[in-house]
Structure 1
């Protein structure tokens, strides 16, 4: 498998919201008490290690070859990433990682796993998102500039925009604030650069926030992406499929897209009794624990690099 990474001319990116990948220890200053053994979700070591291994299984199932980059959303801290990369089903995959350390009150962050054989980081940074009045501190944007094994320089941004809590319209300025910070950094990057912006935008393809990015020439290559087993989006709400997760690329990189799909392998889905059909097999239904994966399905993009 690892030799195939070196020989492959394809470059695979996966984006996955992990649905609260918390460990069982309290992070000082963070509101993570519900994910402690004595907390409201009774989050034990057994449940935690089960979750870590299932996320590893989910990543491995995304393609025949190991994904070169994996953008992860809703990961708590460095310890969780070490466990995922060194002590889970991914332990022999060789992944390294970079992640943010944000002011988010719950302590969730974003991260980027990468294969050193196919992607070499040159520099990285955290892009802060100054909160608006009455806006909770939110996740930093992770920015990584790196070089692929083909010699392509990639600018990768991993985003987790504020939720729609309080209503889409009322919370919309918070997500536009994230895009404003992206625009500032993008203005300092060559218009001919190969740029990838991915993550959970908590917005649909036609939202004002994403429209602001399209105005810069970025193209949403996953807007109409579907799964092989019936998923019409990465997230299902009240019986309707939607995509809050997206991959946007610059025009030069758009020409190198080979394929996009949602990984909706049957083991990642469960029956939805109320509305019929299938939904992502998540870890919690309300506060009821079940040995699932995430409430989001992974997005997968294959590029044909030179």
Structure 2
């Protein structure tokens, strides 16, 4: 693939050393997006999909599904395009019903030429929703994939709460070994305090996965991404994953969360009752913070909140422009904004 030379990367010249010759960098986007109830228009008797928004619509269900897919494809095609001139190399997604809806997305005209592959496992989630990974085959090659079950129980009834598995994909990004963990932690249903132990349990599972990778390779480059249903300063993230918001404070085998500072600055990915949360995050391990760019390193992070993704009128003005509301399809996108990180690698002139 031809290296991408970008205007924004010329700003790095002074960062490395003043007076040095101009350097060129290859850049890729790694993104995450909650696709907000992306269900197909067919009733699956094996799951509770009849409670999904699209199944509650009686007319034009297939046409609505196709438009929802098109809207999702548009966003996925756009993330990072402005800076990298390419759609994301890797995309974690959640709130998808099955592999078929993912196939419909990657076969959309906006994404077909990117030749995305899919990693997907069915989760036991009560709502019938899963997490998955999409990747451009020309730049990323999976070498191992696995799905990891989260077992949690209702504190009152001791009945099991069936939730999303955590997806782990190891592979090579243009020859560089990396690991991607895709998460959709348990919701705040029943209240933040009551549901807090469920997300702590999810964080402990994520931490065990990180630890297992670092036992094999202490210098493993790991991306932890997902809709965590917790903010960057919550116990699950700060105390269990032990994240840092300052790159210089990240110790050996430590985890950096660039989204913590965004949250402190008031930035969010989803809103409820005029309060913003930053539930969607991408965290990285220490080896992605090195200042030698012979292999891919973290460059910057962001929330993808372009104007077309924002509600521009009504009581939810300024919120993410969601797909479903008032018992119907709004022709919107998602109740979450996507998040992304850029990784860069020095290339020859």
- For the residue of structure 2 that corresponds to 1:14, the secondary structure is strand
Q: Which of the residues 111, 116, 121 maps onto 1:95? A: 116
Rounded to whole Å, the distance in 2 between the matches of 1:24 and 1:5 is 40
TM alignment of 1:265-276, pairs within 5 A: 265-271=306-312, 273-274=314-315
Q: Would you say the 8 A contact 1:5–1:117 is kept in 2? A: no
Provide the residue aligned with 1:185 in structure 2: 209
Rounded to whole Å, the distance in 1 between the matches of 2:275 and 2:205 is 31
- For the residue of structure 1 that corresponds to 2:188, the secondary structure is coil
Rounded to whole Å, the distance in 2 between the matches of 1:88 and 1:225 is 34
Higher Cα radius of gyration: 2
Q: Which of the residues 217, 220, 233 maps onto 1:206? A: 233
Unmatched runs of 5 consecutive residues or more in structure 1: none
Q: Does 1:140 align with 2:165?
A: yes
Q: Would you say the 8 A contact 1:231–1:264 is kept in 2? A: no
Q: Does 1:290 align with 2:300?
A: no
Change (3 A) 1:36 1:161: closer
Tell me how far 1:29 sits from its aligned partner. 2.0
Rounded to whole Å, the distance in 2 between the matches of 1:40 and 1:224 is 39
Q: Would you say the 8 A contact 1:152–1:305 is kept in 2? A: no
Provide the residue aligned with 1:157 in structure 2: 181
Unmatched runs of 5 consecutive residues or more in structure 2: 6-23, 244-252, 291-296
Q: Would you say the 8 A contact 2:25–2:344 is kept in 1? A: no
- For the residue of structure 1 that corresponds to 2:43, the secondary structure is coil
Q: Would you say the 8 A contact 2:92–2:133 is kept in 1? A: yes
The TM-score, its normalising length taken from structure 1, stands at 0.90
Cα deviation code 1:133-184 (max 9, x no counterpart): 34420001010000111x2211110000010000111001111111222222
The TM-score, its normalising length taken from structure 2, stands at 0.80
Rounded to whole Å, the distance in 1 between the matches of 2:67 and 2:289 is 37
Q: Does 1:10 align with 2:10?
A: no
Rounded to whole Å, the distance in 2 between the matches of 1:305 and 1:177 is 35
Provide the residue aligned with 1:279 in structure 2: 319
Rounded to whole Å, the distance in 2 between the matches of 1:207 and 1:189 is 24
- For the residue of structure 2 that corresponds to 1:224, the secondary structure is helix
Q: Would you say the 8 A contact 2:188–2:195 is kept in 1? A: yes
- For the residue of structure 2 that corresponds to 1:142, the secondary structure is strand
Q: Would you say the 8 A contact 1:158–1:197 is kept in 2? A: yes
Tell me how far 1:286 sits from its aligned partner. 4.3
Name the Cα RMSD after superposition.
2.3
Q: Would you say the 8 A contact 1:145–1:156 is kept in 2? A: yes
Provide the residue aligned with 1:85 in structure 2: 106
- For the residue of structure 2 that corresponds to 1:84, the secondary structure is helix
Cα deviation code 1:181-202 (max 9, x no counterpart): 2222222222311011000000
TM alignment of 1:61-76, pairs within 5 A: 61-64=78-81, 65-76=86-97
Cα deviation code 1:202-240 (max 9, x no counterpart): 0001111112112662111222348xxx98211112223
Provide the residue aligned with 1:249 in structure 2: 284
Tell me how far 1:265 sits from its aligned partner. 1.2
Change (3 A) 1:35 1:185: closer
